[in-house]
Homo-oligomer: A and B are copies of this chain.
Amino acid sequence: KRLGFPEVVFGENKTSAQLIGIAERMSAHTSRLLMTRVDAAKAEQITACVPGLHYHAEACMLTGFGPAPKPERGGYIAVVCAGTSDLRVAQEAAVTLEMMGSRVERITDVGVAGIHRLFARLELIREADVVIAIAGMEGALPSVLGGLVAKPLIAVPTSIGYGTGLNGLIALGAMLNGCAPGVTVVNIDNGFGAAYAAASIHKQTRRET
C-alpha cells in the first residue's frame, strides 16, 4: 500500500451484504480497515455481523479491527469548516487522518460571513503542519485562509447549497480560482482524498520524529 496505509473501501454503491463479505475477507489479513460513506442503516447490519468494527456516525465511516491508532508523528493537521452542514465531510477527513496516524484539530463554525469567529481560532490553524479547509455554497473559506496562513492548504468543496450551487460545482470553481496562491483542491465532498494527501505531506514533514 502507498504510505503503509490500511485497506479502504468505498461503501456508497455497495449493499450491506457485499460490505459484510468484503469486511469478513479483509479481517483475516488486515489490521486496519476503513469503510467510507456507510449510512447508519447499513452500519447497523454490518457491525451486527462482523466483530471489531466501530461506527463513526457523523463521518458515516466504519473502522476496524483494533483500537484507534495512536498519533505516529508530532504536530497536527487542522480540519476547518464553516458549519453543521459541512460536518460529515469534515469528520470523514478527520477520522481518515487519525487512522493514518496524524493528530487532528477540528475547527468548525468559522464561515466567512462571520469572520471574527475565524480570527478567534487563527493561532491554532497557523500552528498546524497542514490545513484542510472545507466549504460549500460560495466556497470562499480557502481563499480567505490562504491569505492568512503560510502552510500547505488543501481545499474541499462540498455539495451543500441549493439552486445555482450546482451540487458543489460553484464551490469547486471558486476554490480553483481563488486569488490566494498555493491552494490545491480535491473532488466535491472528498474528505477522504484531502486527508490522504494531507497525511502524505505530514508524514514527510515529520519523517525524523
* Chain A interface residues (CB < 8 Å from chain B): 2-3, 8, 12-14, 18, 82, 84-85, 111-115, 129, 137-140, 143-144, 146-154, 159-190, 192-194, 196-197, 199-201, 204-205, 207-208
Residue pair A164, B143 in contact (C-beta under 8 Å): no
Given A140-B138, A187-B164, A201-B152: A82 in contact with B113 (beta carbons within 8 A): no
* Cβ of A193 to closest chain B Cβ, rounded Å: 6
Residue pair A204, B129 in contact (C-beta under 8 Å): yes
**Taking each of A2, A189, A196, which has the highest tally of chain B beta carbons within 10 Å of its own beta carbon?**
A2
Q: Which B residues are in CB contact (< 8 Å) with A186? A: 176, 183-185
Residue pair A137, B169 in contact (C-beta under 8 Å): no
Residue pair A163, B143 in contact (C-beta under 8 Å): no
Residue pair B172, A190 in contact (C-beta under 8 Å): no
From the candidates B129, B151, B160, name the one contacting A13 in the complex (CB within 8 A): B160
Q: Which B residues are in CB contact (< 8 Å) with A182? A: 2-3, 193, 196-197, 199-200
A-B contact pairs, 28 of them (CB 8 A): A2-B146, A112-B144, A112-B147, A129-B204, A138-B175, A139-B174, A140-B140, A140-B174, A154-B184, A159-B163, A162-B187, A163-B167, A163-B187, A163-B188, A164-B177, A164-B188, A165-B177, A166-B173, A170-B174, A170-B177, A171-B177, A176-B186, A182-B200, A183-B186, A183-B193, A184-B197, A201-B201, A205-B207
